[in-house]
Structure 1
Amino acid sequence: MIYAASGREDSYGNYDLYMAQKTNEEWEDVYHFGLGINTDQWEAQPSLSPDRKDLYFASRRPGGFGGIDIYVSHLKPNGYYSQPENMGPGINTSGDDQCPFIHADNQTLYFTSNGWLGYGDDDLFVVRKQPNGEWGKPENLGYPINTIEKEGTMCIAADGKTAYYAADRNDSYGGLDIYSFELREDVRPVKTLWVKGKITDKNTGKPVVSTLELNNLATHQTISHIQTDDAGNYFMTLPVGKDYAFNVNSKGYLFYSDNFLMANKSPDSTYIKNILLEPIASNASVVLKNIFFEVNKYELNPESQTELDNLVRLLNENPTMEIEISGHTDNVGKPSDNMVLSNNRAKAVVNFLISKKINPARLVAKGFGETKPLADNKTEAGRLQNRRTEMRVISQ
């Protein structure tokens, strides 16, 4: 938990940012963020992105565009947060811009401002992250959410429609009261579910500290990038409405891949996915679940890019590893045609790797057609499981 506090012995200014961590049902202070994030001015109203990579907060420090500006600090590989960046004139104005709230979808930011065109004092605004990673133009949430009075800090539930905010209005009991309302559809974030589980070694059952990444299959945009705790546990947000590649990586192991195809469905439950990672060893294998082809075709679909990049990374990190890429089909059609198709699909993957400067001597392509099914071909679910591309380690 990241919070603001004042009056402490280690404080630099009016309010500083601190982080606490819950262990054994108790909260313990981990650290004061120190100079850079904290100054001798006022730093408050922190909001941490769901993947913990971006820390948004408000500050009165000099050098901004107005009285209070919104800043963001990014998590560095060493586990510390970077020097804060002002979010710029696309969000900050000559007035006060504050109370940032990044939704669990990691794409929608809400804040208050008295500098953007509004109805009165502080109004609530929404701004969305674009596919290129840049922020769009802020949009006023409109009446009756905003009034001539002062609307303050807002947060939104994972369902994407239930909102809570503080406001000083004519029906308030005190200075600021808490209100709840349902967001209009046009200003809602993406409904967000969760996937959680534990990563363990397939052979020993011991936890494996790993990194997990969720990527939009269509745009290849990284939606979330997190690391497990020391016990291998993870918890990741899962915005609905898109198709995602889900990858798990840890040094010394084959990567694990899966997908969440949510573009045409909106499930209501969370996912529990416990994952067994395969140590790199001769004959170790993994199904490449995010390699995609059209029916009866062997040209790689653009959605395969994330998986192919992971395969290139694995081979570059293990420069002596030799692998076999194998293609497999279901039993629909002629066995001879399936054998040719599966072989051509395996070759397509190998040719991509060669195009990325992987030595051809390290690569073997082989098609098995319908001869090695994983499931019964009598059902569509079984046939889908049998249509696959696999990678097997020949030698390390």
Structure 2
Amino acid sequence: MVRLITLLIGILSWSVVLAQQPAPVLSTKSKKAIELYTVADNFRVRGEYDQAINLLNQALAKDPKFVEAYLRLGLTYFSMKQYQNALRQFEKGLALTDDINRQKAFWYSMGEPYLLTGEYEKAMKVLKSFIDNERTSKQRLDRANMLYKSAEFALESKANPNPYSRKLLSDSVNEFELQYFPVLTADQSQLIFTRRISDNPNDDENLVVSRKSSRGRWLRAESISKNINTPLNEGTCSISADGRKLILTTCTGRDGIGSCDLYESIKVGNDWSEPRNLGRNVNSSAWESQPSLSADGRTLYFVSDRKAGLGLRDIWVSTQDSKGEWTKAVNAGPQINSAYDEISPFIHANNRTLFFATNGRPGFGGYDIFYCDRDSSGWTTPKNLGQPINDNGEQFSLYITADGQKGYYSHEETLGSGHSRSKIYEVLIPPTNQVRFRSNYVKGVIRDKVSRSPLSARIELLNIKTDEVVSLVSSDSVTGEYLIILTQGDEYALYVTKAGYLFKSYNFNYSEITDFEPIAIDIDLEKVMAGSVAVLNNIFFDVDKYELKEKSSPELQKILRFLKENPRVKVEIGGHTDNSGSASYNRELSEKRARSVYDFMVQHGIDKARLFTKGYGPDRPVASNENDAGKQQNRRIEFRILH
């Protein structure tokens, strides 16, 4: 798919260039040469390059000074990504003419292949000649200026390389002719990518997965699922952080809407569901591909060439509503999309940093990887990721791990006769170049406390400061497994809820944390019955105070909702402290704190007869008071079901 995309873009781009040029008076008088030249172009625009080259060479044999034949021959080699051959033909043709219009066609055509072969000074020279002399085509002039800025940028960056270190992944991953668009689960235990056994665009694409062994080695890639892969075409994909939602591209063989559509598959236990078309809110009669899911699988970025875009290919966005349906996709906007191509978006696990490839911004040549961050006012100006990830070749995709320390990408190289191959690399990202907000994760199993049976529960992560839902996932109904992402820069409340069970709450303060390890928490839910207890980890008071802090609001709303959904339940709100200070003072303080929660519930419509308070002070510790961590656990508000 990578090479096919590139070839199609090349054909379209150069067809536009030629269409904009007025029909010239040809430099040859040979009717046979003109005939061969004309027929050759019919083959060229259809991508039948060998026939086009043969006919153009025959035309040049009839007239070795046929300037336009050299231009068309160079363009044909360019479409085949044989840039040196293209430049040789351009240089021969340019040497034969002093006509300014013919020279401009060569200068313009030579700029990009010089850029793609790393000959930046030569690229700047020919592009400047074109820019200084072009008077008619604004579109070509804009493109030439952008390519000129790319050459300038590349020269400057070449003198100041970034300190990345990369390595080729083992043959257990790179065993195919082409492997590309790698993605990982957040725990970095699974690497999923698209593979094709040859560079023939008509060959079958399949999704494969390589799992990491206990020694940290990638095992041999195998088909992700018989429910997903068919003898036809399954390509670029994205997976949610927990590894349970997959969005993939299929171009033939399923109930498609356009030339390529996006489909969704859900993993339950060890089985992937039959892919389901995402529907007309996401897919159109055009081409959709290259999806990227947010960590919780509820926001989807993808690429489409639909007519409503800003360029040839644009990045679009859809979100999942409360019913699980995908909303009408919207264009990501001019801050990201240019008049050219934006492809292969990747939204980092932090949901704030977007990576994508484009040929519409100054870079090293061809497609480069860029990134931008989202703040309160929108997306920041995209920045080139730099070398060695970007170079004068084509870079199509990049995956950055949740912790920001590693990247995975495919690098394509052109072989002889226009053939290509691609391999997947791992790159170590130096601290100075890592994403601004790194992400961690919490994972484990959710079970019934008594039966120990796995439960499918709702796991909701709230930003305590803004009281906004940051992430929403569910645990696996077969295994009970869950995983949810935590990102630097905020304090979070995590809630686990299931109908018929008492909710659990947790607190994670990542507002200042700089060094962290993945967190494992197995969660046992208690059924709503007498004696069930929930610790309210997100009720906050100042030291020696009993007034509720504003950031307690999310937890208070959860309690309120639980009481309204269970109108017959009566509860005790119990206050607890550590053993610092006098026991009598602590009992009084803990009673007042419990009373503050009671007052909030009553003020919001809960019958007083259902609520009881008790200040236990230091009398019922749940951890040792010999250390700060234990004391912190002992300072708590508990929510106990009475009947």
TM-score, length of structure 2 as denominator length:
0.56
Q: Assess if the C-alpha contact under 8 Å between 1:125 and 1:138 holds in 2.
A: no
Structure 1: distance between partners of 2:629 and 2:256: 59
Per-residue displacement from partner, 1:246-293 (whole Å, max 9, x unpaired)?
210111111101223344545554322111111112332211112122
Q: How does 1:354-369 map to 2 (within 5 A)?
A: 354-369=602-617
Task: Report SS of the residue matched to 1:321.
Answer: coil
Per-residue displacement from partner, 1:106-145 (whole Å, max 9, x unpaired)?
3322112334565654332223233x5x742232135335
Q: How does 1:292-307 map to 2 (within 5 A)?
A: 292-307=540-555
Residue 176 of structure 1 and its aligned partner are, at CA, apart by: 6.0
Q: Which residue of 2 aligns with 1:161?
A: 405
Q: Establish whether residue 204 from structure 1 lines up as the match of residue 466 from structure 2.
A: no
Structure 2: distance between partners of 1:201 and 1:142: 47
Q: Which residue of 1 aligns with 2:477?
A: 230
User: Larger deviation: 266-275 or 343-352?
Assistant: 266-275
Q: Establish whether residue 195 from structure 1 lines up as the match of residue 439 from structure 2.
A: no
Q: Establish whether residue 58 from structure 1 lines up as the match of residue 303 from structure 2.
A: yes
AA of the residue aligned to 2:550: P
Q: Assess if the C-alpha contact under 8 Å between 2:413 and 2:420 holds in 1.
A: no
AA of the residue aligned to 1:160: G
- Identity of paired residues, percent? 37
Computing the radius of gyration from Cα coordinates, the structure with the larger value is 2
Structure 2: distance between partners of 1:27 and 1:281: 36
Which residue of 370, 374, 385 corresponds with 1:129? Answer: 374
Q: Assess if the C-alpha contact under 8 Å between 2:374 and 2:380 holds in 1.
A: no
Residue 175 of structure 1 and its aligned partner are, at CA, apart by: 7.1
AA of the residue aligned to 1:139: P
Task: Report SS of the residue matched to 1:311.
Answer: helix
Q: Which residue of 2 aligns with 1:140?
A: 383
Structure 1: gaps spanning 5 or more residues: none
Q: Assess if the C-alpha contact under 8 Å between 1:105 and 1:189 holds in 2.
A: no
Choose between structure 1 and 2: higher helix proportion: 2
Which residue of 497, 502, 508 corresponds with 1:260? Answer: 508
Structure 1: distance between partners of 2:438 and 2:613: 41
Per-residue displacement from partner, 1:188-218 (whole Å, max 9, x unpaired)?
2533333222212223322322100222334
Which residue of 247, 250, 263 corresponds with 1:18? Answer: 263
Per-residue displacement from partner, 1:229-251 (whole Å, max 9, x unpaired)?
21222122233454332210111
AA of the residue aligned to 1:163: G
Structure 2: distance between partners of 1:217 and 1:108: 21
Q: Assess if the C-alpha contact under 8 Å between 2:504 and 2:525 holds in 1.
A: yes
Task: Report SS of the residue matched to 1:351.
Answer: helix
Structure 2: gaps spanning 5 or more residues: 1-245
Q: Which residue of 2 aligns with 1:374?
A: 622
Choose between structure 1 and 2: higher strand proportion: 1
Structure 2: distance between partners of 1:228 and 1:138: 37
Q: Establish whether residue 79 from structure 1 lines up as the match of residue 324 from structure 2.
A: yes
Structure 2: distance between partners of 1:199 and 1:25: 17
Q: How does 1:91-130 map to 2 (within 5 A)?
A: 91-116=336-361, 120-130=365-375
AA of the residue aligned to 1:367: G
AA of the residue aligned to 2:299: D
CA change 1:165–1:296 in 2 (3 A) is: same
CA change 1:338–1:281 in 2 (3 A) is: same
Q: Assess if the C-alpha contact under 8 Å between 2:269 and 2:476 holds in 1.
A: no
Task: Report SS of the residue matched to 1:204.
Answer: coil
CA change 1:142–1:20 in 2 (3 A) is: closer
User: Larger deviation: 262-271 or 148-157?
Assistant: 262-271
Task: Report SS of the residue matched to 1:308.
Answer: helix
Q: Assess if the C-alpha contact under 8 Å between 1:127 and 1:135 holds in 2.
A: no
Task: Report SS of the residue matched to 2:596.
Answer: helix
User: Larger deviation: 39-48 or 229-238?
Assistant: 229-238
CA change 1:123–1:276 in 2 (3 A) is: same
